[in-house]
Amino acid sequence: MTQATDREYIYKANGEVPPGEQLPEGLRRIALGVEYCGARLHGFQKQKSAAETVQAHLERALSNIAAEPITLVCAGRTDAGVHATNQVVHFDTRAQRPERAWVQGVNTKLPDSVRVRWVREMPAQFHARFSAHARSYRYLIHSAPTRSAHSAAEVTWTQHPLDMDAMREGAKHLVGRQDFTSFRASQCQAKSPVREITRLDIARVGQLIVLEVSANAFLHHMVRNITGVLMAVGRGERSPDWVWEVLEKRDRSAGGVTAPPFGLYLVDVRYPREFQLPVCEPGPLLVPLALGTLPQL
């Protein structure tokens, strides 16, 4: 019995386990760190109409190594075309496998666009989605007169010069606990539009403009909608104060600008220290800098 609800705990595959309860005997909870290039994938979530999803590839490879059907949950779903360097997933299994099998063995069953980076056996109370208390994304923009022949699906290109100082001024309006209705997709299923952005930095790294944003959680298309609005400010089409006006209207049509998925990367998911998950470089390789260290010049 759980003290909080006084209801009998009933196990559900990969579900939340209340404090004091355990997984059924013989089951183990495994967490994986996953990296993927979303250019040719139809997003993370498994779909009946599309075989090329991150979840479908992972579950198929894991089931092969575990010799039993595996389903999993992730820290945050990503859309078609979106990338990740540090996605976190977990699954429950009866299979006893060495770490090498869950990493190298699974990777031999995956396409080149998806890779397992690390594995940890976790306590029953760990949940890839609900245990996370912060997430960070990076959005990469190539601002140049012509599109590069390299990394076309890994960055977003604009032929317009972008005023980063104006973008930074606009971004200040978004930091803090806010109602982000104007920056959520119309099909967003989150119960509340309130989120807290703890950091929103914009800097030039090499030939790229990098937007880095951290929050307790994100709404559907939230980062892409923020980026689209800030790029409009950077092009001089709108003033930095327009960002505040969009936010205050709490109406998706107020901004109406969604940046493409190509330059978006899920780069970090943070959990309580008690879980002792590996801390990896956020990446991607085009941005070899730790979180919070973008040059502010």
Residues with a catalytic annotation lie at: 79
Q: Tell me the residue type at 191.
A: K
Token duo for residue 169? 């001024």
**SS3 of 116, please?**
strand
Q: Tell me the residue type at 198.
A: T
Max Cα separation, the chain?
64
> Which DSSP symbol is given to 237?
S
What is the C-alpha separation between 139 and 212, in angstroms, rounded? 7
Contacts of 83 (CB under 8 A, 6+ apart): 36, 37, 38, 39, 154, 264, 265, 266, 284
Which residue intervals of 153-297 are DSSP H helices?
A: 164-171, 222-234, 241-249, 252-255
Contact criterion met (CB below 8 Å) for 245 and 254: yes
Question: What separation, in Å, do the N-terminal and C-terminal C-alpha atoms of the chain show?
Answer: 56
Report angle CA 193, 199, 202 to the nearest 5 degrees.
Answer: 110
